């Protein structure tokens, strides 16, 4: 329960306006996409730098506004971020509703940045 209290900053936005169907589902082979935080590699030869990160990883590392600001700084050289684990479902309706709200809140914050986001 404390996790929800810590992440109150995240949900303090107009995430209700986000429609998940407006975000493209990635068609990239995720085995070839480096994880967020990895250095440049052979897959970065093109002009678009792509990284993937799981929703769980973001949820574990971003608890405060300062955490978000640090995360945002690390996104500076990334053109496309693929968020994985979006489609995971929970039987508990409260946990599921919180998860959907969290996804929408992250997408709302990403919409304020100049980074493309795809989901899967």
Question: pLDDT tens digit string along 30-54?
Answer: 998 999 988 877 767 777 889 999 9
* pLDDT value at residue 8: 67
Distance between CA 38 and CA 36 in Å, rounded? 6
Residue 46 is classified by DSSP as S
82, two tokens:
């693929």
Low-confidence spans in the chain with pLDDT less than 70: 1-8, 43
102, two tokens:
């969290």
* pLDDT value at residue 47: 78
* pLDDT value at residue 30: 94
69, two tokens:
């600001």
| 104: containing domain | 2-119
Measuring CA to CA, how many Å separate 48 from each of 11, 28, 108? 30, 13, 22
- What CA dihedral angle connects 100, 85, 81 and 36, to 10 degrees? 130
pTM across the whole model: 0.86
Residue 37's CB is within 10 A of a number of other CB atoms, namely: 10
Residue 24 is classified by DSSP as P
Quote the number of domains for the chain.
Answer: 1
């Amino acid at each position: 329960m404390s996790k929800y209290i810590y992440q109150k900053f995240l949900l303090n936005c107009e995430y209700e306006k986000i429609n998940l169907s407006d975000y493209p589902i990635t068609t990239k082979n995720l085995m070839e996409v480096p994880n967020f935080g990895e250095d440049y590699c052979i897959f970065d030869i093109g002009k678009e730098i792509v990284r993937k990160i799981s929703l769980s990883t973001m949820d574990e590392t971003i608890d405060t506004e300062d955490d978000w600001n640090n995360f945002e700084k690390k996104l500076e050289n990334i053109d496309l971020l693929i968020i994985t684990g979006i489609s995971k479902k929970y039987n508990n309706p409260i946990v599921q509703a919180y998860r959907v709200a969290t996804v929408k809140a992250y997408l709302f914050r990403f919409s304020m940045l100049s980074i493309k986001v795809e989901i899967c």
